[in-house]
């Protein structure tokens, strides 16, 4: 791989975008490398952390790709992002996006497909597509309003508004905020905690929770009951329940 560097730390897979000279702008090559990475997660991995090398998470889509594109090519270009980000969102294990510096356009769309976002204080969020005369094309109009609401996205796209790390955190872009440069360390710490859960529960969470959020109350309730029944019946769940009941498991205290 040319622009993606992976590293396994125990059960955590780190996926690093490494195109520093172009501020990690996402070109076709990177997207194909991401697709291939998310299609071949090694056995035993319990959580993934995606991050950017250099000073930024990502400056978004490589705009040079749109220079000569006609309508038909533009449609296929946008559609091509879909399975890649879907693989990330609906894979086998949770994904944490560790953010710093620019998290712009397609970079924000990529981060929005993760299950948790950890931002350091240098992070900023922008959707400059309006300025560039284009539209989001990597699922942003579907995923970003689910994080921060349509009004926030509308404002960012219409006015070019940039949200700094603190504002982005308050709005719901990130779930954690760290000192500058500590985003990766914090993400790995969280990923290790996630790896301690029963894999079946993690899988159910990433697969079922967003789908319930998109369902009617009635269908959501039924999906929840079915998922509860399946997860509790796994031998792993029985072992963990017995551990608690027999005094061997950690208590839940602050």
Whose Cβ is closer to ligand 1HE: residue 23's or residue 163's? 23
Choice among 73, 109, 166, 254 that is catalytic: 109
Closest approach of Cβ 195 to ligand 1HE, in Å? 31
Q: By CB under 6 A, is residue 138 in contact with ligand 1HE? A: yes
User: Of the ranges 57-65, 115-123, 152-160, 204-212, which one interacts with ligand 1HE (CB under 6 A)?
Assistant: 57-65
Of the candidate residues 111, 136, 152, 195, the single one contacting ligand 1HE (CB under 6 A): 136
Assess 60 for contact with ligand 1HE (CB under 6 A): yes
Q: How far is the CB of 170 from ligand 1HE (least distance, A)?
A: 22
Nearest CA to 205 out of 82, 93, 88 is that of 93
User: Min. distance of Cβ 157 from ligand 1HE in angstroms?
Assistant: 10
Alpha carbons 35 and 19: distance in angstroms, whole number? 17
Cα angle 193, 15, 171 (rounded to 5 degrees) comes to 65
d(C-alpha 95, C-alpha 182), whole Å: 18
Separation of alpha carbons 48 and 156, rounded Å: 29
- Distance of closest approach, residue 60 Cβ to ligand 1HE, in angstroms: 3
Residue 235 to residue 32: CA distance in whole angstroms: 38
Binding residues with ligand 1HE: total (CB under 6 A): 23
Q: Closest-CB residue for ligand 1HE?
A: 105
CB 240 within 8 A of CB 231: no
Residue 61 interacts with ligand 1HE (CB under 6 A)? yes
**Contacts (Cβ under 8 Å, ≥6 apart) of 4:** 15, 16, 17, 18, 30, 33, 34, 37
Q: Is 129 a catalytic residue?
A: yes
Q: Please give the order of strands across the beta sheet that includes 95-99.
A: 4-9, 12-17, 47-52, 95-99, 116-120, 176-178
Q: Which of 199, 190, 237, 220 is nearest to 93 (CA)?
A: 199
Annotated catalytic residue 167: no
Residue in 1, 20, 36, 64 binding ligand 1HE, rule: CB under 6 A: 64
Residues labelled as active-site residues: 109, 129
Which positions lie near ligand 1HE, rule CB under 6 A?
22-23, 25, 56, 59-64, 81, 102, 104-106, 109, 128-129, 132, 134, 136-138
């Amino acid at each position: 791989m040319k622009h993606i560097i992976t590293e396994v730390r125990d059960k955590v897979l780190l996926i690093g975008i490494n195109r520093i000279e172009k501020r990690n702008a996402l070109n076709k090559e990177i997207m194909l490398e991401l697709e291939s990475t998310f299609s071949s997660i090694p056995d035993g991995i319990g959580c993934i952390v995606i991050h950017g090398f250099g000073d930024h998470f990502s400056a978004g889509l490589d705009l040079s790709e749109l220079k000569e594109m006609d309508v038909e090519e533009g449609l296929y270009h946008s559609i091509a992002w879909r399975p890649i980000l879907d693989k990330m969102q609906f894979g086998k294990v949770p994904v944490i996006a560790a953010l710093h510096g620019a998290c712009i356009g397609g970079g924000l769309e990529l981060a929005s497909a993760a299950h948790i976002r950890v931002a350091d204080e240098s992070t900023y969020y922008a959707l400059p597509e309006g300025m560039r005369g284009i539209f989001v094309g990597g699922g942003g109009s579907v995923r970003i309003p689910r994080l921060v609401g349509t009004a926030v996205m509308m404002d960012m796209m219409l006015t070019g508004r940039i949200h700094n790390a603190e504002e982005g955190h308050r709005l719901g872009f990130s779930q954690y905020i760290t000192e500058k440069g500590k985003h990766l360390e914090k993400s790995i710490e969280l990923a290790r905690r996630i790896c301690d859960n029963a894999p079946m529960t993690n899988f159910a969470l990433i697969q079922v929770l967003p789908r319930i959020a998109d369902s009617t109350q009635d269908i959501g309730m039924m999906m929840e009951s079915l998922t509860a029944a399946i997860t509790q019946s796994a031998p792993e769940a029985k072992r963990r329940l017995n551990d608690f009941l027999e005094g061997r498991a950690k208590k839940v205290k602050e």
